[in-house]
Chain A
Amino acid sequence: MRQILVRWAVSAIPVLFIVSLLTFLLTALIPGDPGRTILGQTADPDKVAAMNEALGVNRPLPVRYWDWLKGAVTGDLGDSITSSVSVSGQVGDRLAVTLSLIAGAFIVTGLVGVTCGVFSALKGGWLGRLIDGTAMLGMAIPVYWFALVLSMVFAVKLRLFPAIGYTPFSQSPGKWFMGLVLPVMALGLSCAAPVAKQTRNGVLSELGRDYVRALRARGFAERTIIVKHVLRNAAAPIITVLGIVVVGMFGGSVLIENVFAMPGLGGLAVSAAAGQDITTMQGVAVVFTVFVIVVNLVIEVLYALVNPKVRTR
């Protein structure tokens, strides 16, 4: 376990550093007068000067980066250049929304993906083909379009769930749940396909292994063999795929939050991009990178837990 942590830290910290540097360098990439480029040719020269001041273009880049980095490690991501609100504060307010969405979607993806994968591996035939076909379609459907269709059917037509918005858990757990159903389903179902595919392949290849035959010869029931042995062995690659899927979910959450007008980090990223709020954008990018890196650590630990070959090395 120590080894995993060390290995993770060795790869994660440079990655975080590079991502923050790259997003920071974006401002330096702007050709000519950055303030003018951002605000447009017709902008008031005073505003341009103020923008340049806020961006700190007059100070050397390493100094600016160093200042930002010093703040970032203490949790201060600076202030928005367009509204001078604290970026860390904004991120903190919205964190719960995005994490609720992703946690829910992850559960849906895991359950649906693994169940479908196991069924299509065991049953084959038309059910297997149906699941395969749905999975392929699932990868082609844009997640936001799927969300719109769900919203139209279940919110606009059937009025079962709210079409937009988010209620904090502390305000009303019931409303919090109802509001999350559609976004979670949209994101979770649209990410289930790769998990189902990996589960199916994993289960099929495990079923052909010698130990399965040995277990049958020892009189174990098929169900026990599948649940306790085959799935357990197929778990490691499924976990890897789940890790990739979660990273994709962070991206998908940006679109889903937009469809359902949820005040999450994705919404913050979109409004920052639309409003040219570069410092906020930097902050959001770094926070997302931290998420991904933490997810990677969790995946590595889980992987080691299910795979004794890694654990007992």
Chain B
Amino acid sequence: MSGPAVQPGTQPGAARPQARPGIARLLLRRPAVVVALAVLAVIVLCAALASVISPYGPEQQDLLHALKGPSASHWLGTGELGLDVFARLVFGGRVTLTVVLIAMVVYLACGVPLGILAGYKGGVFDWLVLKSADVAFAVPSIIVTLAVLAVFSHNETAAMVAFGLLGAPGLARVVRSAAMGVRQELFVRAAITSGLKDGVIILRHVLPRVAGVILVQVSVFAATAVLMETGLGFLGVGTKESSWGSLVGEASRNIGLNPWLLVPSGGIIIVFVLALSTIGDGIRDAAEEAHAAAVVRSPGRRQAPSATQAATAAVTAGQEPTEGALLSVRGLTVTLPMAGRATVTVRDVTFDVMPGEAVGIVGESGCGKSITASALFGMLPGGGRVTAGRVFFDGQDLTKASPAALRAIRGARVGWISQDPISSLDPVYTAGAQVAQVVRLHTGCSRKEAKRRALELFALVRLPDPARVAKSYPHQLSGGMAQRVGIAAALAAKPDIIIADEPTTALDVTVQAEILDLLRDLRAGGTAILLITHNWGLLADLCSRAVVMYAGEVVEESPITPIVRDPAHPYTQALLRSDPHRGRRGQPLPSLEGTVPAPPDWPVGCHFQGRCPLAAAACRTAAVPLVAVAPGRFSRCLLAGQATTVVQAAPAGTGGQDGG
């Protein structure tokens, strides 16, 4: 019945679960934990060797020097009757630590087996654990220990046994859920089906895996047990021997005469409890770290930023906005913190959106499309910065605008439609309330007026039953309905432009078509749209121009018809060939081999060189500029203008095979 891996001692690092051999080492790598272990060890040793190290006995009186501060003969001063405080601390530690240990043994002996049985066997054990936890949490534990002391006068052992029993259901509950998790794991299931005895499985597989959880709980429990024991001592109902608690009680009686007594009596408790909780936190963090390390096999894969990071940061900033454009982005360059370093993630992005025009930014995920869109109106995630380039909105340079000015533009002149419609709504407000809030923010109208306007907007986005939707919470809406609510919120202040970040990705096909219709109507009504997508079908249906991004750069920009018919850049060609919406019947869909390099791994020269079938030595030497290949068409390829050769060079069916 005893748990072999669980020693209720003060050295949690020693009881190491076999399955996670790294935890003890991870634990000892934390200086705070090492210090805490050392402090615990010193205190325990002092208590154990009390009679050797203390110059006085705990009952040895020195009436001439009662209630004095520290001195050469009494290191920590004296209490009532001149009893030496140091002696009482070390001898009292014995008393306190012994009953705490007893409580811990009871706690473990009841909690661990019950928890494992409940998690492993379920049934009646499960019920027992949950119900007993209900009862145990319903009574303040000090009341229970006091009740026990009312019967067994000054019998602190009995009180602390009760305290351990009271804590056990809580431990059992935690162990239960951990054991349930272990039981689901493959090797345990295999062990069960192979007919191994339950006892063997529990000892060999389950117990070691839940040991970490148990150790965390035990260190917390030990801390509360120390506080409880000293509390009882302080109240004067605990043991009659001198303990840490009774010393605080004495300090409180003599607070006017010798306030110094508060320092050693409380200090020892605080230090001891702090050490225990430091160790508990350390075990938890170390377990998490070990787990994380097991999931991410090679954490050190990220290289130091290559020279290209610096080299490619030189951009074509400083150009003037296009006359009459609603949005003019010029050489936009963005850094984000990655692995603790500011890393260029979007470089030299330039494009325009004219009033009422729909432009699509397209590319695989990880190409910087969403970051570009976020950077335009000051919505970069924490630590992100625009380091070069300009964003002109209606002639105003937003990179120089104050946060308040940006906020005034967001929502009012720019609407945002997000990728995940349901989670983009606040779960605690109804759909109607959320849209009304936006209306009020931007128009300052009355609550009633805002409500009415919200219903209007819901009708505008063709929600079937606006009144009912208005009263619904986000979790009650379907994805399509939630996206319409999101669009309604985006339209609340009649914006000039809508940024739609993958607005249909999370929706099913029929709903996608409906949302597309809605966006098309908006554009027809004169609202400009900046669409971010990887779906060429959506792009071609909605937009008049496409901006293709690859690894943080614009690689091609062109009106929609020529780019679809005759893509200039090898990346655009590969993307279009692999687009499932354009696959020709009866022909296998060529896939786009390889992956987009992460920003720290961008190569010198063309970012696409690793996957480009036409890559040549020249592509690897210097950054490639974006050049005009036809009126209104730009491409970032050294072969600009002649690149159509790729299509002929790669016979159907084998296209994109060269992953380089």
Contacts and interface: CB of A to CB of B under 8 A. Distances in A.
Contact of B426 (A26, A216, A233, A269): A233
Given A209-B423, A216-B379, A281-B147, A141 B418 contact: no
A276 B140 contact: no
A273 B150 CA distance: 4
Contacts of B489: 214, 218
B47 interface: no
Interface string A213-232: 11111111100000001001
Given A15-B135, A27-B151, A145 B269 contact: yes
Contacts of B259: 152, 156
| Interface secondary structure of A, over-half rule | helix
A129 to B, nearest CB: 13
Q: Among the interface residues A156, A210, A309, which one has the most CB atoms of the partner chain B within 10 A? A: A210
Given A18-B135, A140-B273, A142-B269, A210 B423 contact: yes
A156 B258 CA distance: 12
A85 interface: no
B412 A219 contact: yes
Given A213-B418, A274-B236, A292-B138, A255 B231 contact: yes
A306 B473 CA distance: 12
Given A292-B138, A312-B476, A26 B151 contact: yes
A118 interface: no
Main secondary structure of the interface of B (DSSP, over half): helix
Given A137-B274, A217-B410, A220-B441, A272 B234 contact: no
A136 B134 CA distance: 27
Contact of A273 (B146, B407, B426, B441): B146
B411 interface: yes
B139 A285 contact: yes
A262 to B, nearest CB: 14
A273 B153 CA distance: 8
Scoring A144, A213, A221, A247 by chain B CB atoms within 10 A of each residue's CB, the highest score goes to: A144
Contacts of A284: 143
Interface in B143-192: 143-144, 146-153
Contacts, number: 209
A276 B489 CA distance: 68
Interface string A154-191: 00100000000000000000000000000000000000
A250 B408 CA distance: 49
A284 B145 CA distance: 13
B251 A148 contact: yes
Given A219-B410, A255-B142, A259-B252, A214 B277 contact: no
Nearest to B493: A219
A37 B409 CA distance: 80
A140 B252 contact: no
Given A15-B134, A211-B426, A285-B139, A148 B151 contact: no
Given A15-B138, A29-B151, A278-B151, A229 B426 contact: yes
Contacts of A214: 416, 418, 424-425, 486, 489
Kindly state the interface size class of chain A when it binds its partner.
35 or more
B137 interface: yes
Contact of B223 (A140, A215, A296): A140
Given A140-B270, A233-B426, A288 B140 contact: yes
28 contacts: A15-B138, A30-B151, A136-B277, A139-B273, A139-B277, A142-B231, A142-B269, A145-B269, A148-B255, A151-B255, A152-B259, A210-B420, A210-B424, A214-B418, A214-B425, A217-B377, A218-B438, A218-B441, A233-B427, A250-B140, A254-B140, A258-B234, A259-B252, A270-B235, A272-B146, A285-B144, A292-B138, A308-B475
Interface of A: 11, 15-16, 18-19, 22-23, 26-27, 29-30, 37-38, 40, 136-137, 139-142, 144-145, 148-149, 151-152, 156, 209-211, 213-221, 229, 232-233, 247-248, 250-251, 254-255, 258-259, 269-270, 272-274, 276-278, 281-282, 284-285, 288-289, 292-293, 296, 306-309, 312
Given A141-B270, A217-B410, A276-B153, 8 more contacts: A18-B135, A137-B270, A141-B266, A144-B234, A145-B262, A152-B255, A278-B150, A292-B137
